[in-house]
Amino acid sequence: MIFEKRTERIFLAIFFVIALCIPLFLEDNSFFVGKATTILILAVFVMSLDFLVGRVGLVTLGHALFYGLGGYLFVIVTPEYEAVNFWIYAMYIMGISALVALVVGVVVLRTSGIYFIMITLAISQMAYYFFFDSLEFGGNDGLFIFMKPETSIFGLNFLNLDNPTHFYYLSLLAVLVTLLAIKIILRSRFGRIVEASRLNPERTEALGYNIFAFRLISYIIGSTLAAYAGLLFALQYGYVNPQFMTWEMSGTALVMSILGGMGTIYGAILGTITYEGLQYFFEHMSEDWMLFMGGAIILMVLLLRKGLAGYLEKLLEK
Amino acid sequence: MANDIILETESLSKHWGGIKALNDISLQFQDKQLHGVVGPNGAGKSTLLNMLCGTLKPTSGCIFHKGDQIEGMKPWKFVRRGIGRSFQKTNIYADVTCLENCAVAAQRRFTGSFNLFASRHANKLVREAAEKALCQVGLDSRIHTVAAEISYGEQRQLELAMVLATDPCILLLDEPMAGMGHEESQRIIELLNELKQTYSIVLVEHDMDAIFELSDQLTVLDNGTHLITGTVDEVRNEPRVKEAYLGKEDEEEAA
């Protein structure tokens, strides 16, 4: 069983049942389906960050770099007025992102602790200003996606990305696949050494493991998943701009992961839904919503030391 | 062949700026022998051990393992050659079970660690090797206990079990009995006596009784320099050793 905790199984069962049904009830309200889709895409991004920060022990403040990269790469590598195949190009874009993560990883993983935070932040800011200042990539306005890709597999076409409900299910699939992939990796032999490297890097090296290699591979996996989330987000809204890559984006995702319960992975889903829910609630309540939002998050972090997942586990375990 | 040289250092030195932590040390460590290393505080014992296992790079000099020059290699490559070390300060994975602690150590021997899909629990050989190492040090009853919950002495045993689970040919042990009670120390001494039949052991230890009892060869370091290497009796009768430990006689009078 890759889901070890009872709480985890209960939460995920409830989540997926509700998530599968949402479009049935909101069929006529494409705004809410769109909103729910965005939350699912963000959840993929936050899970990939939670994996790196909470499980591999790499506290990155530059994760949004890959989120933006996924979006930009799609516009850059696809022909402008031709509907390309989604699956093939998703693979293609994840491949390029993995290569970028390899290069960035080799540089940033030479540092650790606070220096790692600083250098990941610096590199993502460099990318942000590169796209911000570049004319060929649209500068601050970014780039538009004129043609949504088609999604046929072996000639079978059952998903239409122009249909919000279809796009919603594609995003839900991404959540499921990301969740399973991360859980399987964490349970694997590779995951054992990754866990050991986080708990005690000195000891792990003294047991004969090249922890740099384990961290680099983990970094590539986390970054590639983030790029996939960014690709979906760009496709949902039909554009990509430098805002995808801001440090606020990385920081917000970090808050979502902490709120949900760092390192629990399923907590990332919980944290994303809660954060977005709170924001929606406060936005509609008051002009000064950021003030309430900030206060609410401070309160929750103070009261729930191990995040929402930790609180649920306290209620449901034993 | 009892006299095979497994590990050898040649003019090994470590300088921190102007301070000579270790100066011009040439030693030979033989198979199936326990080689004790003693010396007053600051003599350079831990520095020596850290260089022998690759975590410290020597300023100058060479280290040979079975004839290959290995200084400057990454620490994890040392382990792969069979050079295993324990730490002076207990250095374990406190949050996971004793079995998992040893499984991390054993996994590398049997199977690739870059497999992202196969469950970590699937390989029987890893589990058996981890259990065997725990039994060797007498932690049979603690296999499924979280490492943080066992006693300090048991954590020291676990520390040793993890080294054994890497299947080393030479053990570098940094004060395995530090902070242990008498009974626990006795158990470790028995264990080391047993282990030196199969492994080459380098033992740094403050407990003189233990080290006199166990050592086949004994090296005394003082202030970063190599004072003497010999059998326990040779070392005991060496006047310079007494000086190093007790101070020169005229100094004592002056004090």
Task: Using the 3D structure, point to which of B124, B144, B167 is the last residue of a domain.
Answer: B167
> What is the mean predicted confidence (pLDDT) over B61-80?
92
Report the CATH number at residue B13. 3.40.50.300
Q: Does B26 touch chain A (CB under 8 A)?
A: no
Report CB contact under 8 Å: A189, B92: no
Both B175 and B77 in one domain: the answer is yes
pLDDT for res B181: 81
Using DSSP's 3-state secondary structure scheme, residue A142 falls into coil
Say which of A188, A195, A200 has its CB closest to residue B118: A188
Residue A66 in contact with residue A101, Cβ under 8 Å? Answer: yes
Structural domains in chain B (count): 2
Domain of B119 in residue numbering reads as: 92-167
pLDDT for res B121: 92
Domain of A292 in residue numbering reads as: 6-24+32-316
Both B4 and B68 in one domain: the answer is yes
- For residue A199, the chain B residues in CB contact (below 8 A) are 93-96
Both B56 and B109 in one domain: the answer is no
Q: Judge whether A77 lies within some domain.
A: yes
Q: pLDDT by residue (tens digit) across A14-52?
A: 999 999 999 888 777 788 899 999 999 999 999 999 999
Query: How far does the CA of residue B75 sit from the closest CA of chain A (Å)?
Result: 6
Structural domains in chain A (count): 1
Query: If you measure CA to CA, which chain B residue comes closest to A207?
Result: B105
Both B68 and B102 in one domain: the answer is no
Residue A66's contacts (CB-CB under 8 Å, 6 or more residues apart) are: A97, A100, A101, A223, A224, A226, A227, A230
Q: Judge whether B162 lies within some domain.
A: yes
pLDDT for res A31: 86
- For residue A210, the chain B residues in CB contact (below 8 A) are 74, 76
Helix (H) / strand (E) element for A167: namely helix A164-187
A82-96, A168-182, B184-198: range with lowest mean pLDDT: B184-198
pLDDT for res B240: 82
Q: Judge whether B229 lies within some domain.
A: no
Q: Judge whether A64 lies within some domain.
A: yes
Structure ipTM: 0.86
pLDDT for res A147: 84
Q: pLDDT by residue (tens digit) across B217-228?
A: 999 998 889 988
pLDDT for res B1: 44
Compute CA distances B92 → A53, A198, A223, B127, whole Å: 21, 12, 30, 18
Say which of A185, A202, A214 has its CB closest to residue B91: A202
Q: Judge whether A181 lies within some domain.
A: yes
pLDDT for res B252: 47
Q: pLDDT by residue (tens digit) across A60-81?
A: 999 999 999 999 999 999 888 8
Q: Judge whether B130 lies within some domain.
A: yes
Say which of B76, B104, B162 has its CB closest to residue A210: B76
Q: Is the per-residue pLDDT at B172 higher than 90?
A: yes
pLDDT for res A110: 95
Both B57 and B2 in one domain: the answer is yes
Quote helix, strand, coil % in chain A, to nearest 5. Answer: 75, 5, 20
Q: Quick one: pLDDT band at residue B249, thresholds 50, 70, 90?
A: low
pTM of the complete model beyond 0.90: yes
Report CB contact under 8 Å: A187, B92: no
Query: How far does the CA of residue A141 sit from the closest CA of chain B (Å)?
Result: 40
Report CB contact under 8 Å: A209, B94: no
pLDDT for res A289: 87
Q: Judge whether B194 lies within some domain.
A: yes
Both B78 and B24 in one domain: the answer is yes
Q: Judge whether B254 lies within some domain.
A: no
- For residue A200, the chain B residues in CB contact (below 8 A) are 91-93
Q: What is the mean pLDDT of chain B?
A: 89
Q: Does B93 touch chain A (CB under 8 A)?
A: yes
Both B185 and B198 in one domain: the answer is yes
Both B78 and B178 in one domain: the answer is yes
Residue B82's contacts (CB-CB under 8 Å, 6 or more residues apart) are: B65, B167, B168, B169, B170
Query: If you measure CA to CA, which chain A residue comes closest to B161?
Result: A207
pLDDT for res A278: 94
Q: Judge whether A1 lies within some domain.
A: no
Q: Is the per-residue pLDDT at B164 higher than 60?
A: yes
Q: Judge whether B96 lies within some domain.
A: yes
Both B8 and B124 in one domain: the answer is no
Q: What is the mean pLDDT of chain A?
A: 93
Residue A147 in contact with residue A80, Cβ under 8 Å? Answer: yes
Q: Is the per-residue pLDDT at B2 higher than 50?
A: no
- For residue B76, the chain A residues in CB contact (below 8 A) are 205-211
Q: Judge whether B248 lies within some domain.
A: no
Q: Bigger pLDDT: B89 or A251?
A: A251
Both B208 and B182 in one domain: the answer is yes
Q: Quick one: pLDDT band at residue B3, thresholds 50, 70, 90?
A: low
Q: Judge whether A184 lies within some domain.
A: yes
Q: pLDDT by residue (tens digit) across A174-198?
A: 999 999 999 999 999 999 999 999 9
Q: What does the H/E/C string look like for chain B?
A: CCCCEEEEEEEEEEEECCEEEEEEEEEEEECCCEEEEECCCCCCHHHHHHHHCCCCCCCEEEEEECCEECCCCCHHHHHHCCEEECCCCCCCCCCCEHHHHHHHHHHHHHCCCCCCCCECCCCHHHHHHHHHHHHHCCCHHHCCCEHHHCCHHHHHHHHHHHHHHCCCCEEEEECCCCCCCHHHHHHHHHHHHHHCCCCEEEEECCCHHHHHHHCCEEEEEECCEEEEEECHHHHHCCHHHHHHHHCCHHHHHHC
- For residue B90, the chain A residues in CB contact (below 8 A) are none
pLDDT for res A177: 97
pLDDT for res B250: 52
Calculate the dihedral angle through the C-alpha atoms of A178, A184, A185, A190, rounding to the nearest 10 degrees.
-170
Say which of B74, B76, B120 has its CB closest to residue A187: B120
Say which of B76, B85, B93 has its CB closest to residue A196: B93
Residues facing residue B27 across a β-bridge: B9
Both B118 and B154 in one domain: the answer is yes
Helix (H) / strand (E) element for A144: namely strand A143-144
Q: pLDDT by residue (tens digit) across A142-155?
A: 999 888 898 888 87
pLDDT for res A159: 84
> What is the mean predicted confidence (pLDDT) over A269-284?
94
Both B1 and B78 in one domain: the answer is yes
Q: Quick one: pLDDT band at residue B247, thresholds 50, 70, 90?
A: low
pLDDT for res B237: 85
